Amino acid sequence: MTERALDRPTRHAMRASRWLAMIAALAGAAVAQPARAEVAVSCDILEIEARQGDKPSIDGELKPVEKRLKKPPLSSWNQFKLLSHSQKSLIKKKPEPIALKHGSATATLIEIVDKSQTRVAITMADDKGKQVVNNTSTVEAGDYVVLVHDLGNQGHLLLMTCR
Amino acid sequence: MPKPTRASSDLALMEHADGELTDPEIASRLARDPEAQAKVESIKQVGELVRGHLELSADAVPDARFAAMWRRVEDQIAPVPLGLWARLAAWFDHYRGHVITGVVSAGAVAVLAVMLRPATPDGGFRAARGAIDVRPVALRASPEIDELDTPGGSSTVINLDDEDGHAAVIWVSPADIVEGI
């Protein structure tokens, strides 16, 4: 039976159901798209406590950076413990707080350079809220920026890589 | 052979049987002629038979069509609900099938959308597709320190390069080192 052959209210009902399905399809398509079309990069931040001890030890979760931790100047310590691991999406010019076990930190994506490098500003403060370092650096995607707060017998490390 | 009169013809008998002709001459003939009586009786029976067949044919119309016809009739004679909500409920009640079709379609689309949606690590923003390229290690430039401020301490920058890539180590030594974090 064609739609023309139906009575008027039935045609309205059929059209209403089609509209409902179409609206749901559009809504679904919107949901399937990225949340916003803003420029963003995904970053991993590792907070590490480093010490000099009798027996070397490195947490299993630090395997991807183990080689670097064994190289000077970081090899001045031989025990590395992962305190926290954060994954953040950095949006251009929006400071992103990073939860740390000790102190606090923020990371801000300044810009993307040559499609493969990130210019990121990182600040780190100690437990008392005193700023330790305020740094802006341009790093290739996949490479690391390592902030080391040397506290004598131990170190407070922040490793960040973005891609 | 005498020409048959109207009253004697079968056509007149048929009209009489159907009640379309009231002729006293036919009535008197029927009173004395059993054959004419039999013809009239037969005509009446055939008429009954045809009427009965037509009535049976009418009964054979599918019940669904009757139901649809009755629903339309009832819709036209039913009192219109006054409230907006009542009218809306009546509309949904009447077109339940279409509404269910629409809702099921919408649900299917929503499920597909959720299944196809890419996951984000922190439930928030997702890196824009193609926003940044990860180049092979050999093609990567060394990290550059654009700004560095270490209030109350001194800093040293060391570049670590290996087959895994580069790492810029910013070593901060406080002027007044207090042991422990």
How far CA B162 is from CA of A148, B138, B143, B158, in Å, comes to: 19, 10, 13, 13
Judge residue A137's burial from the number of C-beta atoms within 10 Å of its C-beta, 0-12 exposed, 13-18 middle, 19 or more buried. Answer: buried
Between chains, do B95 and A148 touch, taking CB under 8 Å as contact?
no
| Closest approach of A56 to chain B, Cα-based (Å) | 19
pLDDT bucket at A9, cuts 50 / 70 / 90: low
Please state the ipTM of this predicted complex: 0.78
Indicate if the pLDDT at residue A32 is higher than 60: no
Strands (E), chain A: 40-51, 57-58, 79-91, 96-98, 104-113, 117-125, 131-140, 144-150, 154-162
In this predicted model, which residue has the larger pLDDT, B20 or A60?
A: A60
Reading the block at residue A128, the tokens are 């008392």
Neighbouring-strand partners of residue A92: A109
Check residue B121 and give its pLDDT.
43
Q: What average pLDDT score do residues A20-42 get? A: 65
For residue range B100-156, what is the model confidence (pLDDT) as tens digits? 888 888 888 888 877 776 554 443 344 444 578 899 999 999 999 999 999 988 999
State the nearest Cα–Cα gap between A68 and chain B, in angstroms.
8
Average model confidence (pLDDT) for chain A?
86
Of A17, A19, A35, the CB nearest to B126: A35
- pLDDT of A123 reads 95
Contact, B179 vs A152, CB < 8 A?
yes
Q: How confident is the model at residue B83 (pLDDT cuts 50, 70, 90)?
A: confident
Question: What is the pLDDT, as a whole number, of residue B125?
Answer: 40
Question: Which member of A39, A138, A159 has the closest CB to residue B143?
Answer: A138
